[in-house]
Amino acid sequence: MATSNKNLQKNNFIRLAFQIFWAAITNGYMKGFSSAHIYGGKLKNICVPGLNCYSCLGAFFACPIGSLQSLISNRAFKASCYVIGFISLFGTIFGRAVCGFLCPFGLVQDLIYKIPFFKKRKNLPLHNVIRFLRYVVLVLFVIVLPITALDEFGFGFTWFCKYICPSGTLFAGIPLLAGNEMLRSSAGVIFSWKMCVLLAVLFFSLWSWRPFCKYVCPLGVIYGAFNKFAIYRFELDNSKCTKCGECQRVCKADIKVWETPNSSECVRCGECVASCPTGALKKNIARRVATP
């Protein structure tokens, strides 16, 4: 048990260090923070794997969900293959490990969850109903509305960014408005709405682990679909597993890991692997043959 706790602490420390490192290098445009302007160089051709607003003052890269909505709302369907290709590539290599390691908004929720304020619970009330919300968000706000709801010039909007994305509000909206008087005077009802969404997500993050990822994030839905055949995956050695349930007990997403080690809900935090008392669970990479 002591070894499991030590493994768990080591695992969590490494993951947190990697999350901070990744968030820092992808949002390291220091000049942006001092001048309240965003980076406009060539790196913005490239999408990052996680939900990282391209209007963040420090962002070097583009957000895949923002870019996808922007292209399809401009009827640039062929060009949108570029973003779909990026998402597919990240998904095939990492699966939802992107959410666990490479998403700055995931990091924010992880940090808030560490605050000892509420009695923590794994899922929010009505979990079995509201967990389908993210599918609705993906289909409606990222695909259908940007294509179908057009302005008088025939262009759509980035609906998810405009009305939902709390990552954009936190990393881009608040810093930009704080540093730019003109933008501040233009902020109105929509910004107030987005602040409410952000505050709600942060509040629920105190209570339950990563509520935005579990119930709202469209990118998590897409990467979740890749989890089963992604290169980075978990493997269970059935001959060692005693079905003691320790993996589910430590899993913050409440996954029955011994039944579905590559569940679409799993963000690959690795706590189940670190705490498995028999070493039946392993982090692995895809191979042509089954591992013994």
Q: 282 - beta bridge partners?
A: 235
Q: How far is the CB of 17 from other proteins (least distance, A)?
A: 28
Which is closer to other proteins, CB of 77 or CB of 132? 77
Q: How far is the CB of 25 from other proteins (least distance, A)?
A: 17
Q: What is the DSSP letter of 157?
A: -
Which is closer to other proteins, CB of 224 or CB of 275? 224
Which is closer to other proteins, CB of 7 or CB of 180? 180
* CB crowding 105-140: b at 16 or more within 10 Å, else e: bbbbbbebbeeeeeeeeebeeeeeeeeeebeebbee
Which is closer to other proteins, CB of 173 or CB of 211? 173
Tell me the CB-side half-sphere exposure of residue 167, using CA atoms within 13 A.
28
For tokens 């709390």, the residue is: 166
Closest to 255 in 3D by CA, of 127, 111, 91, 117: 127
Distance, CA of 21 to CA of 10 (rounded, Å): 16
Q: How far is the CB of 188 from other proteins (least distance, A)?
A: 7
Which is closer to other proteins, CB of 88 or CB of 264? 88
Q: How far is the CB of 96 from other proteins (least distance, A)?
A: 15
Which is closer to other proteins, CB of 6 or CB of 31? 31
Which is closer to other proteins, CB of 120 or CB of 162? 162
Phi, psi (deg, nearest 5) at residue 62: -100, 150
Q: How far is the CB of 159 from other proteins (least distance, A)?
A: 9
Q: How far is the CB of 33 from other proteins (least distance, A)?
A: 14
- Give residues in contact with other proteins (CB under 8 A): 38-42, 44-47, 53-55, 61-63, 66-67, 70-71, 74, 76, 78-86, 88-89, 91-93, 157-158, 161-162, 165, 168-169, 172-173, 176-177, 183, 186-188, 190-195, 226, 228-231, 286-291
The alpha carbon dihedral of 218, 91, 263, 274 has a sign of: negative
Q: 64, 45 in Cβ contact below 8 A? A: no
Q: How far is the CB of 7 from other proteins (least distance, A)?
A: 26
**Radius of gyration of the chain measured on its C-alpha atoms:** 20
Closest to 75 in 3D by CA, of 154, 163, 162, 142: 154
